[in-house]
Amino acid sequence: MAKIKDLSPKLKTKLKTAEQEFAMEYQAGQLPFGQNLGGTQMYSARFIRGYGDKVFGSSDLGIWLGAADWGDAPFRVNMDGDVVASSADFSGAGYTKLTIFKQDSIPTSVAVGDLWFDTDDNNRMYRSASVGADEITAGEWEEVAIPSVTVFAQDEIPTSLAEGDLWFDTDDENKEYRAASVGADEITAGEWELVSTTGISVFAQDAIPTSTAIGDLWVDTNDGNALYRAASVGADEITAGEWEAVTPEGGITVFAQDSIPTSTAIGDLWYDTNDSNKPYRAASIGADQITAGEWEIVDDQRAADALLKSGSSQTLTGDFNLNDEKVTIDGANNRIMIADDSNDRCLFGKQTGGFP
Amino acid sequence: MADYEFGIKLEGFSDGLAPLAHIDSRTFLGSKGQASSMRADIISNPGFIQQSPALANLTNGTQAGVVSELIRFILDKPTASDTTYAIGTTKLFKLSSTAVTSGGTPSWPQTVTDMTEGESVIRLKANLYGFYNKASGGDILKMPLATEVIDPDWGSSNDAALEDALHPVAAKEDIMVFGNGRYVGVYVEGSATLDVQKLDFGEGAEVVDIVFNANLWYIAVNYGEGRRGQIYLYDGSAVSSILSDEAGLGSQKIGFLFVFNGIVYVAYQDNSSGAFAIGWMSGRQLKPLRYFAGSLPDHRQKTLYKNTILFISDEDIFSCGAPVEQLPIQVSTLADAGYATVGGLAAPFGTPMVASTDGSTNYRLAKFSGLSVDSNWKSVSLDISDGRKLGKVTLVIVTTKPLGASARCDLVLEGNQGEDDDSSSFSITGTGKTRHVFKSIDLKPAQDVRVVLDSTNGHASNACLIRKIELLGNFVDR
């Protein structure tokens, strides 16, 4: 019997199982898509290690730390070596790039750039020009020239060591001098020259000081800190052209009231309204008493004149009428008239031939 | 002379559609178990042909209930026991495994102010976020799951309005990454930072889908009206503005990405042939797995069912994958999707549910339930000629699982690629029967024959599971 011909459909290639279908075939040189090994991502020229903003990255821009992208990173170095960092601290214990010696004897350098302060020679500073330097000579320990000045504070005139040295004359109010040359030992031009104080002196004391410059200020400490300005050098009195009171900005205050006010500036005025507007002037700031140095009465010279005039002979012209001419001192006729409302009158006086 | 000169054995029906079925519905190329055309279930019990799953509307799941618009996206996982959400054109819906919620406080479904096209919803921690388009532009809504009170313009209030575009979204932990036209947006809930334009893929680009896999975001982007596809990788932390890697797919339009078991699948259209395919990312290479006909599904139309990817193509639900690893990858037309215009597809509670509309007044949200009688399976065309001789099929033997009461499937033979009259219809039925022998085959001698199984007369719950079909015949001089 002939075999039955099998006409069942067939595919030339047997279908793979799903297991076989997804079996990865390694292709030489090809990295897996989005390869990320232990937080390391590699994408074209960009390399990232970490996750989110906590990464170390590198790309054609440079290297960076602390942000997903270069531009946001708090620390980054570009290809030109420019560094951007939030802060830097070089105090780490392992930072031993340079050795600094501070001793009498010559040390042996361990690196170029080491520093040595010679403690028995005014801490003169040397820099090593080579590793193993143990002599003060070119190429080994070389002195570092420090453009420094010496500051003298003494009575006698010192000898300057360098131009620019300073001397404070301790027995002359610490006057300051500057050396204009090396070896200066006299107070003269080109040697020790007085340093001109461009400012003014401010005195704060009880006694009247002697001004040293126009514009000096004196705060009178026992007079409510009243402020004075020197109008001349050598001023030693409170008077015009010497120490002149400074009126505070804003002027003085004029008080017109019953009670004693408190002054706000020297020169303030107070008219005592329940005492015939008697005037007072503040002699100090904060004055609240009628007393010397505080509210001081201002003399009315006209009243004084009047009093003076009352004690001496005076000539008056015209009648002296009292109470609407009911009493009249009539000098021209040498009489005093006392009259009632109509015609009754009394006359006192001297009249040759009697009164009319 | 032998009783029969030729024999054909069809079996191993887990192979799905034939390799060229998307090009020729009467293709000759295929295996014993492959179909030239089908709408049947070959994944529930691999090796057997079974009727497609039927669709049953969810309670309130039609316009007679509360579904009076096309549900465009269904959240593919529950937010609580037996609870998930879906978004339509103007409303946000709340779903259980059996019903669309109606009423309550707040009253469901909820209208989203100014929404004209829901795109996607996602759960991120204690909130639900919805992405949608408006008459102009788009926005993101936020809804705390505890209160279910919608803030419709959360996105524009916290950053800016969206583009009027596809808005695929994926989330992991407290990060969600979403498509926004040419841009990718990122929201990090931990820092409450929303940037709707975190990445810019340039003019003419459209982000069509996003998934998360292997600590990286996979971003699918189409360029130039879909003439070129590209897949980018983006760091999982989503803080950088620089991508991690990329793979160019060439002239392929991407429909969706799907992650399953560490493999990233891609649904795409091959622009050179017009065919649609499911492939997978192997390194920087997209390897096609199986091709299919119809249309390109998008990010709203994919889910996982019986270890295979379900997706929409035209009006059908397709399956692609292998129910078990020891079987080949298959692509098959699994079931009808409902009405002609299909919306979202998902299986948040395990059983797939699909939304559709007839484009007029009818809408539905339905899920797989029982067996459909709108099911068929058609073998590849089988050459039964031998030189000048034609083949005459004289005996057909069908092997089945023991059939339940009223279980039935009808078999017809088509000759000469449908040009000749079909054979009579033979009923595969009979309670308890496993072997069905048909002798009086009235198909005329032909060059080729195709076996057609039709379940129009099948049963809604008792399946007719077919394991093997044998044709026997003789050559006839013509």
d(CA B18, CA B37): 8
pLDDT tens-place string over residues A282-306: 888 888 999 888 898 887 665 556 5
Measure A86 CA to nearest chain B CA, in Å: 20
Residue A53 touches partner B, C-beta closer than 8 Å: yes
d(CA B136, CA A106): 85
Interchain CB distance below 8 Å, A18 and B325? yes
Cα-Cα-Cα-Cα dihedral sign, residues B303, B306, B308, B313 = negative
pLDDT at A344 over 70: no
Nearest CA in chain A to B449: A7
Nearest to A69 among B214, B242, B380 (CB): B242
CA atoms within 13 A on the CB side of A291: 6
Mean pLDDT to the nearest integer, B369-377: 98
Residue A6 touches partner B, C-beta closer than 8 Å: yes
The SS3 call for residue A274 is: coil
Best residue in B27, B199, B242, B246 to probe A by mutation, most A CBs within 10 Å?
B242
Angle at B181 between CA B179 and CA B183, to 5 degrees: 65
Interchain CB distance below 8 Å, B280 and A36? no
Position B97 confidence tier, pLDDT thresholds 50, 70, 90 = very high
Nearest CA in chain B to A14: B31
pLDDT tens-place string over residues B176-219: 999 999 999 999 999 999 999 999 999 999 999 999 998 899 99
Write the CA distances from B406 to B409, B452, B459, integer angstroms.
Answer: 10, 20, 6
Residue that wins the pLDDT comparison between B141 and B271: B141
pLDDT at A310 over 70: no
Q: Which of A3-17, A172-186, B276-290 has the lowest mean pLDDT?
A: A172-186
pLDDT, position A323 = 65
pLDDT at A41 over 90: no
Residues of B in contact with A68 (CB under 8 A): 235, 237, 239-242
Mean pLDDT, all residues of chain B: 96
pLDDT at B52 over 90: yes
For chain B, percent of residues with pLDDT exceeding 90: 92
Position A35 confidence tier, pLDDT thresholds 50, 70, 90 = confident
Residue A2 touches partner B, C-beta closer than 8 Å: yes
Mean pLDDT to the nearest integer, A137-158: 84
d(CA B465, CA B49): 6
Report how far apart the first and last C-alpha atoms of chain A are (Å, whole number).
Answer: 202
pLDDT, position A355 = 55
Interchain CB distance below 8 Å, B6 and A6? yes
Nearest CA in chain A to B385: A7
Position A354 confidence tier, pLDDT thresholds 50, 70, 90 = low
pLDDT at B352 over 90: yes
Per DSSP, the residues of A100-119 read EEEESSPP--SSTT-EEEET
Which residues on neighbouring strands pair with residue A104, listed in sequence order?
none
Interchain CB distance below 8 Å, A43 and B245? yes
Nearest to A9 among B7, B244, B382 (CB): B382
Best residue in B186, B241, B282 to probe A by mutation, most A CBs within 10 Å?
B282
pLDDT tens-place string over residues A211-238: 887 778 888 877 767 778 888 888 998 8
The SS3 call for residue A47 is: strand
d(CA A141, CA B56): 98
Nearest CA in chain B to A30: B283
Residue A23 touches partner B, C-beta closer than 8 Å: no
A-B CB pairs within 8 A amount to 123
The two tokens of residue B427 are 């009923």
Residues of A in contact with B216 (CB under 8 A): 34, 36
Residue A1 touches partner B, C-beta closer than 8 Å: yes
Nearest to B328 among A2, A16, A43 (CB): A16
Measure A84 CA to nearest chain B CA, in Å: 19
pLDDT tens-place string over residues B226-262: 899 999 999 999 998 888 888 888 999 999 999 999 9
pLDDT at B150 over 80: yes
Nearest to B237 among A35, A46, A51 (CB): A51
Answer yes or no: are the C-beta atoms of B155 and B161 closer than 8 Å: yes
Position B459 confidence tier, pLDDT thresholds 50, 70, 90 = very high
Mean pLDDT, all residues of chain A: 80
Position B1 confidence tier, pLDDT thresholds 50, 70, 90 = very low
Angle at B433 between CA B432 and CA B438, to 5 degrees: 160
Position A249 confidence tier, pLDDT thresholds 50, 70, 90 = low
Residues of B in contact with A36 (CB under 8 A): 214-216, 244
Position A120 confidence tier, pLDDT thresholds 50, 70, 90 = confident
Cα-Cα-Cα-Cα dihedral sign, residues A6, A8, A12, A17 = negative
pLDDT tens-place string over residues B227-237: 999 999 999 99
Measure B461 CA to nearest chain A CA, in Å: 31
Nearest to B30 among A9, A17, A69 (CB): A9
Which residues on neighbouring strands pair with residue A176, listed in sequence order?
A168
Answer yes or no: are the C-beta atoms of B141 and B105 closer than 8 Å: no
pLDDT tens-place string over residues B21-41: 999 999 999 999 999 999 999
Nearest to B2 among A1, A8, A21 (CB): A1
Cα-Cα-Cα-Cα dihedral sign, residues A55, A58, A59, A63 = positive
Residues of B in contact with A2 (CB under 8 A): 1-2, 5
pLDDT tens-place string over residues A58-109: 988 999 999 988 889 999 999 988 888 887 766 666 555 678 888 899 999 8
Nearest to A4 among B2, B215, B263 (CB): B2
Residue A73 touches partner B, C-beta closer than 8 Å: no
Best residue in B244, B395, B475 to probe A by mutation, most A CBs within 10 Å?
B244
d(CA A58, CA B267): 35
Nearest CA in chain A to B247: A33
Nearest to B284 among A3, A33, A46 (CB): A33
Mean pLDDT to the nearest integer, B3-8: 94
pLDDT at A356 over 70: no
Residue A13 touches partner B, C-beta closer than 8 Å: no
pLDDT at B476 over 60: yes
Position A345 confidence tier, pLDDT thresholds 50, 70, 90 = low
Interchain CB distance below 8 Å, A19 and B325? yes
Residues of B in contact with A34 (CB under 8 A): 214, 216, 233, 244-245
Q: Which residues contact B128 (CB under 8 A, 6 or more apart)?
A: B75, B79, B85, B121, B122, B142, B143, B144, B145
Residue A11 touches partner B, C-beta closer than 8 Å: yes
Nearest to B329 among A7, A18, A69 (CB): A18
**Phi and psi dihedrals of B318, rounded to 5?**
-100, 160
Residue A343 touches partner B, C-beta closer than 8 Å: no
Measure B451 CA to nearest chain A CA, in Å: 12
Q: Which of A311-315, B368-372, B388-392 has the lowest mean pLDDT?
A: A311-315
Which residues on neighbouring strands pair with residue A76, listed in sequence order?
A64, A84
Residues of B in contact with A45 (CB under 8 A): none
Answer yes or no: are the C-beta atoms of B117 and B89 closer than 8 Å: yes
Q: Which of A117-126, B74-83, B322-331, B351-360 has the lowest mean pLDDT?
A: A117-126
The amino acid at B306: K
pLDDT, position B392 = 96
Nearest to A68 among B235, B325, B380 (CB): B235
The amino acid at A282: A
Measure A52 CA to nearest chain B CA, in Å: 5
Nearest CA in chain B to A70: B240
Nearest to B216 among A9, A11, A34 (CB): A34
